[in-house]
Amino acid sequence: MKKTRIVAVAGAALTVIVATGWTAYSYLTPDRSFFEAMTLHDPDDDQEVATAARDVFRATVERRTGTRTIQDVPSDLYEVRVIRAYKGNLTGIVTITQTTGGPALRPGHAYVIPTVPWNNPEHEHAVLAEALPRPADDPDAPASTVTGKARGTIDQHWTWAATHPSPGLNSYP
């Protein structure tokens, strides 16, 4: 009987100590804040990027308009002027969001930008997860890619990528 009581008291004491330690650890440790995107496309494969994006276009950055947090992810906001749509039908000035921490877009420079739309009243578009905008100041310059699958000029390459869906990858609805 005495041994049972000692074991029970020791178990209860251990439980209290562990619970107190965990509570202190949880309270004193700062919240972890990180963003990890699960992509079903290879962000280095332009054909897969074009397939996964709703819109792919070449645009000139007008200006950076600020930052905001979208679902706990800090994002930079830019106004861009669409020069040419490779996929989709965007025209004029479009507001895009890009996760903070990536290379900043420079006003006055052109980029090929793959996006998906935000379902919000401002009709903003988000840069496709992990697919960084590609520099495109000269659309007649030879295209270059990480994968080595470039096809002609920047315009020719993205026209091809946008019109040839990647096999086995679902296109944005």
Predicted confidence at residue 160, as pLDDT, reads 92
Give pTM, 2 decimals.
0.73
pLDDT digits (tens, 9 = 90+) for 120-141: 777 788 898 888 899 999 999 9
Other CB atoms within 10 Å distance of the CB of residue 117 = 15
pLDDT of residue 138: 93
| Residue-wise pLDDT tens digits, 69-117 | 877 889 999 999 999 999 999 999 999 999 888 889 999 999 999 999 8
Q: 161: Cβ–Cβ under 8 A, 6 or more apart, which residues?
A: 46, 47, 49, 50, 56, 86, 151
Contact 53, 128 (CB under 8 A): yes
Higher pLDDT, 44 or 37: 44
Residue 144 identity (one-letter amino acid): S
Q: What is the pLDDT of residue 34?
A: 46
Element (H, E) at 136: none
Select the highest-mean-pLDDT range: 43-52, 111-120, 153-162: 153-162
